Amino acid sequence: MNETRPSSMKRITNKKLALAFIDEQVKQIKAQVGDKKVLLALSGGVDSSVVAALLIKAIGKNLICVHVNHGLLRKGEPEQVIQVFKKEMGATLIYRNKTNLFLNELKGVSDPEKKRKIIGKVFIDVFAQEAKKLKDVKFLAQGTIYPDILESKGVKAHHNVGGLPKNLKFELVEPVKFLYKDEVRVVGEALGLPKNMVYRQPFPGPGLGVRCVGAITRDRLNALKEADAIVREEIGKLEKTPWQYFCVIPDLKSTGIKDGKRYMGWAAVIRAINTKDAVTAKSFEIPYKTLYKIRDRIIKEVPGINRVLWDYSDKPISTIEWE
């Protein structure tokens, strides 16, 4: 199979070109799939969401989306997937809340690489279980994009479902595999997906599992979700926003004072950076007025947090994520 982007293919930079691409892909998907069913792991990320919307347009109910909630998504994300794809677009959506399963498997695990492997393995196991329950599914859709092919020589090794058991044999459907991320976003807008989904910030595969630093506990994870939502809301109000902005909660406690009593609480760390290639990154200068607003809201609204810190380190030497 040719995995090189056609030289005649125009860059998709506007709605007109996106609509032409959509029409062409709908024809190709119908020709490839016919009346057979297609399975898709729908994470709610940009790539899988655009692929889902394309396939819904092409084959409707013959697309079966599986959304596995591992408990490590950002606040409101699982609900948005259900709202957009099941309620608004009428997709066949299987939703599985496996938060307890994932967190039980991760209990006491502090090593970042071990956490990644556990999250990846459990996800594949859950997805494979759901796939085995389905009949007459011949195709597997993936949100492979062109940088994935360039980086992995045609194999998207880091993709969520890239490690499915060999006894599950599917023919791949990859409608955006020759697009760059910016083109995928233009197509997503043309398909009518919400802007906050189309322009979703880069998010690590293990999700908040690598932003809840060290061994994950439910109370600290819940605090992270709430604090992160505040960080994203307040920085998102700025006229010019950075490439990526989020919150981290390290596995440490410090003394605080509340209602005249001393207590131990966590620190929430704000991270905001700009980058062109993710190889190097510069800290984004957050206005102090915004920092104060974030600080006040987190301290007031999020139980268990008594300090708010700002990580303004560049890459190198600091990585974008903490783990």
Taking each helix axis from N to C terminus, what angle separates 112-133 and 99-106, rounded to the nearest 10 degrees?
Answer: 150
Give the pLDDT of residue 163: 56
Residues 6+ apart with CB under 8 A from 66: 39, 40, 41, 42, 93, 94, 96, 127, 130, 131
Give the pLDDT of residue 153: 55
Q: Which CATH class is domain 211-311?
A: alpha beta
Residue 1 reports pLDDT greater than 60: no
- 138-180 confidence digits (pLDDT tens): 999 999 999 888 876 544 344 444 456 666 789 999 999 999 9
Q: What is the CATH number of domain 15-198?
A: 3.40.50.620
Place of tokens 């906050």: 196
How does the average pLDDT of the chain come out, rounded? 93
Domain boundaries, the chain: 15-198, 211-311
What pTM was estimated for this model as a whole? 0.89
- 40-88 confidence digits (pLDDT tens): 999 999 999 999 999 999 999 999 999 999 999 999 999 999 999 999 9
- 79-117 confidence digits (pLDDT tens): 999 999 999 999 999 999 999 999 999 999 999 999 999
Quote the tokens at residue 260: 């005249």
Fold match flag (15-198 vs 211-311) = no
Given a contact cutoff of 8 angstroms between Cβ atoms, the answer to whether 216 and 209 are in contact is yes
